[in-house]
Amino acid sequence: MEHPLLRQYRGADPRRIPPGGGPKQQGLGSGVIVTPEGHILTSNHVIEGADEIMVSIGAEQKQYPAKKIGTDPATDLAVLKIDGEKFPAITFADLEKTQVGDLVLAIGNPFGVGQSVTMGIISAKGRGGMGMVDYENFIQTDASINPGNSGGALVDFEGRLVGINTAIVSRTGGSQGVGFAVPGDLARNVMQSILDKGRVIRGHLGVIVQPVTSDLAETFGLKSTDGALVTEVTPQSPAANTGVQRGDVITHVNGQKITDPRDLRLTVGGMEPGAKVEIKYLRDVQEKTAQVELAELPTEQGRFAQNDSSATGAVL
């Protein structure tokens, strides 16, 4: 269920000619040059449906026609390409070293006024449950993000890419200090998959999971609500082939603790099909371990109704 105050700002709105003719509709958005050859990261909703995409750099008057290389609606990311070389490409920040409270800058083209910079802090990391995309692991910031900023860079004070600005929560439609950016490491992985394979390919375990509520934890005799409760196992899936059953609680993947279904979805979805992983799960309070070779997530299972921060009913 989408957050009622969520605003996702379109940049290059779809160019549609209304019935009976008329001028083309246009919009403005932002993007980030990530390679010297002219590859650009932006938000998928900025360019979705666009017939033509033109790019200007900084204060330059010159415009570059951009080719859409690939999109990933599941993370609201898109990769574009402009012709040329030796473009000023951004470097990526090490997000493991970023902390809540770090100063950041939001760069973009708000309201079409031109390249602008606003300052704020990282308010939170790992935000989800907005109901906007399948894979939500947002960086929250109070740096001002307004219409036209979508797809632009959130950078640290050394100019390294922390995230791609994508949405805000607002009662007015303008910035109220609650903005969200797709983490730079996730954006880089999505981009690399699009460049290497033409699309984003994700790992598939073959389970449907739900959160472990306090009542369920008490019923199952569990010590905490951490983990993801398996409610269904897809026949002939990797999970089924290794004996995972309905009622099991997945607690670790490759030694990484799983806190809830969203965490499991992000972890499995970030792995390649064919990857061999170790999962730990609880059955009747007893810990079990299984070796699983991930399959590829079917396209039709790439969307789900994300009702809360724990991704109830997530297909993995």
On whether both 207 and 131 belong to a single domain, the answer is no
Single out the residue in 156, 171, 197 at which a domain terminates.
197
Is residue 102, in this structure, part of any structural domain at all?
A: yes
Distance separating alpha carbons of residues 55 and 59, to the nearest angstrom: 11
Question: How many CB atoms lie under 10 A from the CB of residue 111?
Answer: 13
Q: What is the CATH number of the domain that holds 170?
A: 2.40.10.10
Residue 156 counted as domain residue: yes
Residue 90 placed within a domain: no
Q: Is 191 part of any domain?
A: yes
pLDDT value of residue 25:
54
Contact status, residue 311 vs residue 265, Cβ threshold 8 Å? yes
Q: How far apart are CA 212 and CA 215, in angstroms?
A: 8
The three-class DSSP label of residue 253 is: strand
CATH of the domain at 287: 2.30.42.10
User: What is the per-residue pLDDT for 111?
Assistant: 80
Residue that the structure tokens 């004996």 belong to: 243
| 213 in the same domain as 188 | no
Say yes or no: 207 and 193 in one domain. Answer: no
- Structural domain that includes position 36: 9-16+25-82
Q: Are residues 191 and 207 in the same domain?
A: no
Q: How far is CA 126 from CA 7, 79, 121, 212, 313, in A?
A: 19, 23, 15, 19, 19
Domain-terminating residue out of 197, 227, 250: 197
DSSP notation for 68-82: EEEEETTTTEEEEEE
**Residues known to be catalytic:** 45, 76, 150
In a domain, 266, yes or no: yes
Q: Which residues of the chain have pLDDT under 50?
A: 1-6, 9-23, 303-310
> What is the reported pLDDT for 307?
40
What phi and psi values does residue 42 have, to the nearest 5 degrees? -150, 180
Whether the CB-CB separation of 69 and 190 falls below 8 Å is answered with no
Closest C-alpha among 1, 2, 4 to residue 171: 4
Same domain assignment for residues 163 and 104: yes
Give the number of other CB atoms < 10 A from CB of residue 102.
Answer: 16
The pLDDT score that the predictor gives to residue 172 is 67
- Would residue 170 count as lying in a domain? yes
Residue 89 lies in a domain: no
273: CB partners within 8 A, 6+ apart: 201, 202, 203, 204, 294, 295, 296, 297
Same-domain check for residues 243 and 289: yes
Same domain, yes or no: 305 and 210: yes
Q: Does a structural domain hold residue 229?
A: yes
Residues 292 and 221 in one domain: yes
Domain tally for the chain?
3
SS3 86: coil
